[in-house]
Amino acid sequence: MRLTNFSRSGIAPSEVARPADDREWEALLARAGHRGVTVRGAGASYGDAALNSGGVVALTSAARRIGSVDAAGVVEVDGGATVGEVLARVLPDGWDLPVVPGTGRVTVGGAVAADVHGKNHPARSSIGAHIASLDLLTPADGLLSVSPSTRPGTFWATVGGLGLTGVVRRVRLRLERAPGRWRSVDHVAKNLQEAVELLAAGGAHAVAWLDGHATGAALGRGVVTTTTAAAAGTRPQPAAPSDAGAPWTLGPRAGVRLPNLLTPAVVRAANAARLARARTRGGRPMISGGVRALAPLDTLPGWAALYGGRGFLQYQMVVPPGEEEVLAVSLRALQGAGHPPSLAVLKRLGAPPRGRASGTLSFPVPGWTLALDVPVPPAGEEAQWLGRVLDDLDDLVAAAGGRVNMVKDARLRPELVRHMYPGLGRWLEERARLDPDGVMTSDLARRLGLGVGAGRSS
């Protein structure tokens, strides 16, 4: 079967399996061939974390039970249940996930493998901080129950471990009480400097949408949205029609192969409209009701198809405080290369909660994270030049003490991973303990040298 990724930039022929229970998973891992097994939840990775060319891809969709929330707010969920499904189950009872990624389509297992973060990282960290314990099926040691206190080495290698330590079968998530209402305010930022200042001052949830096409003095202008829990008693506004759910979908079975519709002209027009909308609201807050508004990436399912046959790639990096100049250089470099980002999102990332560790290979470190979506150019000089520009940006980010997010990545050089992730050596050791034969793999693992004795690849 030919599987693809979220950004529709890669296609990998693989044999697809769907084990029904722990026993079938164990059997699958035991008989894995030389191309190994890749665990795949929703397949919502931007890059190749859930692809396995020439190998077996095992879907986790057979297990999607969601338990009931206990008095302490802990709920046990199967690895194959999606974040959206969990929210749909727990929100009506007044519980909420402390960390929600940009799309509800990801499975809980995938969320753990990516150690997803949301717009509230400085306050709430990533999902790894809210896991009471998880059940991990490993090739070497079978089914293990791990937590920050039980086998912490294995736990923190699995959080953000890209699915390479074993199969996340069940997760016990710690929920929190949901606020009745959310209060969002949009502020227009004239440039990157202002966006950074507004984010620094921001509330519980804060995100900056930046105009990737704006140059010169307006570089990095955009809209900063800060959201806080509203006081009880504030009346929500009627939901806009778009909040009711997407009326149509561009899912993979839509069968229509579009050319790239997100041309620079279209993107510039959309950016202008976004800015205009924010200016018109003039900073008036919007109150939304009990159900959190649809995650931004889910407003139009299948929107990646708008990028056409070649898809797009996302470059997400984080740089420590004080290195904000790297953000400006990234925007200018891509614009100068003729590939202005069609989407640019800036957020703040914080430190892990006091006294807690974080995923050994997890992306978030304190600082500024900029995520840039760029359409994949036609093959040849254009694509290779963009590759060169991004390689140079990697060097800049690494030199600044930052890193590139491997969950979103499709083109990072393996040499950079060791430079950007000081925990790599420790992580590889733990992985070799849990999976000495290198059964757990993926195209990403081979490409970035995360395999156990895997051959080098791009």
Partner 1 sequence: MNVLGQPGTVVVVGGTSEIARAVLTRLLLSRPCDVILAGRPGPRLDRAVRSVRVFGAHVQTVPVDAEDVDHLVRSLRSALAGREVDVAIVAHGVLPEQGTVERDPLAVARLVTINTTAAVAAGALLADHMRRQGHGVIVAMSSVAAVRPRASNYVYGATKAGLDAYFAGLGERLRGTGVHVVVARPGFVRTRMTASLAPAPLAVGPDRVARAVLAGLDRDVVWVPAVLGPLMIALRLAPRALWGRLDRGASQHPLHGPHARRPRRPATSTGEPR
Residues of the shown chain interacting with partner 1 in the complex, contacts defined by CB under 8 A: 2, 9-14, 34-35, 52-55, 310-311, 313, 376-381, 383-388, 390-391, 410-411, 413, 446-447, 454-458
How far apart are CB 103 and partner 1 at their closest, in Å?
20
Closer by beta carbon to partner 1, 245 or else 378: 378
Closer by beta carbon to partner 1, 162 or else 219: 162
Q: How far is the C-alpha of 148 from the C-alpha of 127, rounded, in Å? A: 13
Helix or strand run (H / E) with residue 39 = strand 37-40
Is the Cβ–Cβ distance between 103 and 297 less than 8 Å?
A: yes
How far apart are CB 339 and partner 1 at their closest, in Å?
10
What type of residue is 196? V
Closer by beta carbon to partner 1, 54 or else 152: 54
How far apart are CB 333 and partner 1 at their closest, in Å?
15
Nearest to 397 by CA among 373, 358, 368, 374: 368
Is the Cβ–Cβ distance between 162 and 113 less than 8 Å?
A: yes
How far apart are CB 451 and partner 1 at their closest, in Å?
10
- Residue 440 DSSP label: B
Q: How far is the C-alpha of 191 from the C-alpha of 214, rounded, in Å? A: 9
Kind of pairing between the strands at 37-40 and 56-59? parallel
Coil/strand/helix, residue 63: coil
Closer by beta carbon to partner 1, 119 or else 411: 411
Q: How far is the C-alpha of 51 from the C-alpha of 3, rounded, in Å? A: 7
How far apart are CB 57 and partner 1 at their closest, in Å?
11
Closer by beta carbon to partner 1, 148 or else 387: 387
How far apart are CB 35 and partner 1 at their closest, in Å?
7
Closer by beta carbon to partner 1, 233 or else 381: 381
How far apart are CB 379 and partner 1 at their closest, in Å?
5
Closer by beta carbon to partner 1, 222 or else 375: 375
Residues 6+ apart with CB under 8 A from 269: none
Largest CA distance in the chain: 61
Closer by beta carbon to partner 1, 295 or else 417: 417
Q: What is the CA radius of gyration of the chain?
A: 21
Is the Cβ–Cβ distance between 8 and 258 less than 8 Å?
A: no
Q: How far is CA 113 from CA 24, 188, 343, in A?
A: 21, 35, 24
Kind of pairing between the strands at 176-177 and 142-146? unpaired
Q: How far is the C-alpha of 214 from the C-alpha of 219, rounded, in Å? A: 5
Closer by beta carbon to partner 1, 181 or else 447: 447
Angle, nearest 10°, between helix axes 381-399 and 325-336?
170
Q: How far is CA 126 from CA 100, 113, 117, 133, 211, in A?
A: 9, 11, 4, 15, 26
Closer by beta carbon to partner 1, 4 or else 184: 4
Q: How far is the C-alpha of 353 from the C-alpha of 98, rounded, in Å? A: 13
Q: How many CB atoms lie within 10 A of CB 401?
A: 15
How far apart are CB 401 and partner 1 at their closest, in Å?
23
Closer by beta carbon to partner 1, 12 or else 331: 12
How far apart are CB 384 and partner 1 at their closest, in Å?
4
Pull the structure tokens for residue 283: 């900073």
How far apart are CB 17 and partner 1 at their closest, in Å?
15
How far apart are CB 43 and partner 1 at their closest, in Å?
16
